[in-house]
Structures are given as C-alpha cells and as structure tokens.
With several copies, the nearest count.
Chain A
C-alpha cells in the first residue's frame, strides 16, 4: 500500500483527474494548499506598497493505492500535470502501514 501526494497546478486539476480516471483511479482526497517554490507568486500591490505574494495556490491530491499501481498513477499525473513551465509541482510517494475502510472495516487492498 502506498500513498501518493501530488502537488499540482490548479489549472491542471481536471486533466489529471481525467487521466487518473482513465487508468481506473477514482478515489482521492483533494486539498487546497499554498505552494512556496521556484515559481514565485504574482507581484501584488495594495495601496502603493508591493507585497511579494511568495506563494501560489495549488492543489494537493492524496491517492492511496496498491503498490503495483503506483508507477501508473505517477505516470498519469506526470503527463497530465505537466506544462513544462516552472511551477508544475511535485509527486511524493510514501509507504503506508494499514488502510481501513470505515464503512466495512475492510483492510488494505480491499479498502482502497
């Protein structure tokens, strides 16, 4: 069991979601996050003073999947989430110990 955290552009969300659906992944959790990274936020002004918005809004997708599916999921996110310009985001893969479906109590492979 692995957990994939993908931090993607807001504008690529629908492409990534569809790419995931195409390989059978329909379950994930989405979070609105602020990204600090190479792509600086827009220059912001308010009442004559600059405030470098050093972050930009991003989406984080958490996907839990069997280890065997990780490679495919990563590929799907990579191709659908990529624009080639700075700021495309990151994918992180974690090991997961147990996954439980609250409704049924099923564990691990059955739970995701």
Chain B
C-alpha cells in the first residue's frame, strides 16, 4: 500500500513536470506572435506599421477565442477508430469543466492541451497578414482571418494531429511544417494572387524594392520566433521526455543556424550583397524546415535540412518576384517553400518505421495544400466580390495607418 503511495507520488511528479513543460511551451509559442508582429512591422513601410500591429494584435485574440468556440473541437473531434477521419465536430465550447486530471490521464491536463493547441491556431493567419500587408483592407482581412483559423486550419489539422486519414496513412509532420506553416503559406499565396502586387513594385524598368522600415524590429522578431520555437517544437513532444525534448532543442537550433549560413552564402553569390533580410529569412526557413522532423533527425541531418532551407530562401524570393507575386515579408518563401521542403525532408532523412514515406509526405503536402489554397482563395474571392479586398490607390500611397486608422505608428519626428 505504501509502495503504491510512493509510485503514485512519483507518477504524479512526472505528470507535474510533463504538464509544466506543455504550459511553458504554450507561453513560448505565445511569444512567437510578438515575433511575427515585430518581424512584419519591421519589413513593411513606415506608413503601414500601425496597421500590421493592429492586425497581429487582433489575430491572436481571434485565434484564441475561435479555438475555444469551435477550433479545438474541430481539430480533435475524436474520430471513430478506423474511420476515414476527414471531418467531424465535437461541439461548441470547451467540454472539460470539473474533475481534475492526473498522471493516469496522460502527460498533461485538458486545459494544457487546449492552451498549447490554441496558441498554434492563430499562427497561420499571422503568416498571411505579413504577405498581404500594405494593401489589404482591415475589416475584410480580419474576417478572413476569423474564418481561416476557425474552420480551415482545424479541419486540415484534424487529418493528422486529430488522428484523421493522413495520420492513418503514415503522414509524418512532427510540429507542423505542413500543418501550420505551409497552411499559412498557401493562404498567403491565395491572398497575394487575388490582391496583386503593391503599387510600384513591378515596373517596366524591373523590380523596385520597397525596403522594410526598420531592421531592428525585424531582427527582434526573428530572434523572438527562434526563442518561441523551442516551445513550438519542444512542446510538440507533448511531454518533458528528456531525451526527445533535448534532441528537439538541438536539431531546432542547428537547423536555424544552418539556415542563416545557407542564406548568407546564397544571397552573397546571387546578389553580391550581405543582405540582413535574407539571413533573417534564412533562420526562419531553417526553423520551418526542421519542424516536420525535429524529433527524428540527427545533428548532421538537421544541419543539412537547415542549410538547404537557407539556400532555398533567396531562390524562392527571386522566383516569387519573377512571378510578380509580391510578398513584403517573404512569408511564402519561408513558410510555404521551406514548409514543403521540411515535410519532404522527413522522407529523405527520417527513418521512423512505416511513417513519413515519400508517398505519405507528398499526399499530405498536396491534400492539405489543395484544401487550404482553395478555402483561402474562395473566401478571399467572395470578400473581394462583396466588400472589396484592396484599399484604393490613394490610401495605399498615403499608407494604411492614416487610411484605415487615422493614426500614425510614429509621432513627433
């Protein structure tokens, strides 16, 4: 009897530690929203800074509330076993109210599960906000963001993390290279196609760069994102398992570092310039790239994955510019291109049994990509046809801060 008491106490202690880590990881994922906000604010023009901060402040609020209202129960609907697991909904609101959780129920409580997942939910919309910045109308964007995080993200998330059909077929995406990052990237792509480029970006004489207004803000953003990624990837272990969490910290950091180096050399060879914006994007590319397999890669694998992600960044930025797809912050290069790369890398480098085969990975990338892109395209299209999506030329020239908010981000200069 006393023995059981000791064992119970020990298991309860493990439960406490596991649960605590999920909560700290949730807080770290939260700070990524500040990272996105400052990164995007730094990469837009001075006249559109307040607007982007406003959107990012609202997105996290919308994300948490809609995830509470319906997202959580759409994403983790409890598919019947052996079901195809395509769509199910467990009802509005949160279901847990009274009984306490303990070690017997897993590694964390219902609330920890909710809050950790909820912090992820808004990420997709945040990625979009950067790509469509400097020209999209405020209220239509917020409407899109609400529908996107409330409906689209949880449905595709359920296919894998909710135990749906992609999970059943062995698709592997540890912390969301596809489920979180590409998803944001696909929606961003739909948005920038329908919006068109910023005025004056693509001219007869070629591409006219529109430099971000503050590199310190952008750098703060990237470091905070890296910091938060310890929670994003580390928390995705879903326990404080010492071996796994510490491996994830190591692979995540090495991939980020290699991403910086890859982007450094590639952008130097391509443009003969030491471009901070590329190195910053390279770090993020490395982070996105390692996310799908952070728990199954060796240090060497993770360095290669990060390096390739970093190399992809200047190539992708140039490619999107050639296609006249104007993305002020490089969100599509970072989250879409490196998200796809990271998901494929699992099939190349990973060796977990019966999971992460090329077929499974490509199926996952395509299925989730197609659903998300279509969802985003249709929603944006309807908004465009009804409320309008883009501010008028004069407002764009004057800036969205004055146009949409009647305020400036900076005063008394």
A binds B: yes
Count A-B pairs with CB separation below 8 Å: 57
Cα(A43)–Cα(B249), bound, Å: 40
For residue A33, give the distance in angstroms from its CB to the closest CB of chain B.
Answer: 13
Segment among B9-17, B21-29, B272-280, B338-346 that sits at the interface with chain A: B272-280
Segment at the interface with A among B230-238, B302-310, B313-321, B383-391: B313-321
Closest to B328 in A: A47
Given contacts A42-B406, A43-B406, A44-B406, contact A49 B398 (CB under 8 A): no
Taking a contact as CB atoms under 8 Å apart, the answer to whether A49 and B407 are in contact is: no
Closest chain A CB from B40 CB (angstroms): 15
Within 8 A of A (CB), among B249-270: 267, 270
> How many of chain A's residues have a CB under 8 angstroms from any CB in B?
13
Closest to B394 in A: A11
Q: Which of A46-60 contact B (CB under 8 A)?
A: 46-51
Task: Closest B residue to A51 by CB, please name it.
Answer: B209
Name the one of B200, B277, B398 contacting A46, with C-beta atoms under 8 angstroms.
B277
Closest A residue, CB atoms, query B270: A48
> Using Cβ atoms and an 8 Å threshold, which residues of chain B touch A10?
397
> Residue among B200, B314, B407 with the most chain A CB within 10 A?
B407
Q: How far is the CB of A31 from chain B (nearest CB, A)?
A: 13
Using known A-B contacts A51-B208, A51-B209, determine if residue A44 contacts B397 with beta carbons closer than 8 Å: no
A10-B397, A42-B402 known; A48 and B275 CB under 8 Å? yes
From B200, B272, B321, B394, contact of A49 by CB (8 A):
B321
In the complex, B139 has a CB within 8 A of chain A? no
A45 interface residue (CB < 8 Å to B): yes
Task: Using CB atoms, name the residue of chain B closest to A32.
Answer: B413
For A49, what are the chain B residues with a Cβ–Cβ distance below 8 Å?
A: 206-209, 321
CA distance A10 to B314 in the complex (A): 32
Q: Does B330 lie at the interface of the complex (its beta carbon under 8 Å from any beta carbon of A)? A: yes
- Identify which of B270, B277, B278, B402 gathers the most chain A CB atoms within 10 Å of its CB: B402
Complex contacts, B394 vs chain A, CB 8 Å: 11
Residue of A nearest to B327 (CB): A47
Q: Are B206 and A47 in contact (CB under 8 A)?
A: no
List of A residues within 8 angstroms of B410 by Cβ: none
Docked pose: A42 CA to B394 CA in angstroms = 12
Using Cβ atoms and an 8 Å threshold, which residues of chain A touch B406?
Answer: 42-45
Q: How far in angstroms is the closest Cβ of chain B from A66? A: 30
B402 contact from A14, A44, A51, Cβ within 8 A: A44
Within the assembled complex, what's the spacing in Å between the Cα atoms of A56 and B82?
A: 65
B216 at the interface (CB under 8 A from A): no
Q: Which B residues contact A (CB, under 8 angstroms)?
A: 200, 206-212, 267, 270-273, 275, 277-278, 314, 317-318, 321, 330, 394, 397-398, 402-403, 405-408
Interface residues of A (CB under 8 A from B): 10-11, 14, 42-51
Known: A11-B394, A45-B273, A46-B210. 6 other contacts (CB 8 A): A42-B403, A44-B407, A46-B211, A47-B277, A47-B278, A48-B267
Closest 4 A-B residue pairs measured CB to CB? A46-B209, A45-B273, A49-B209, A49-B207
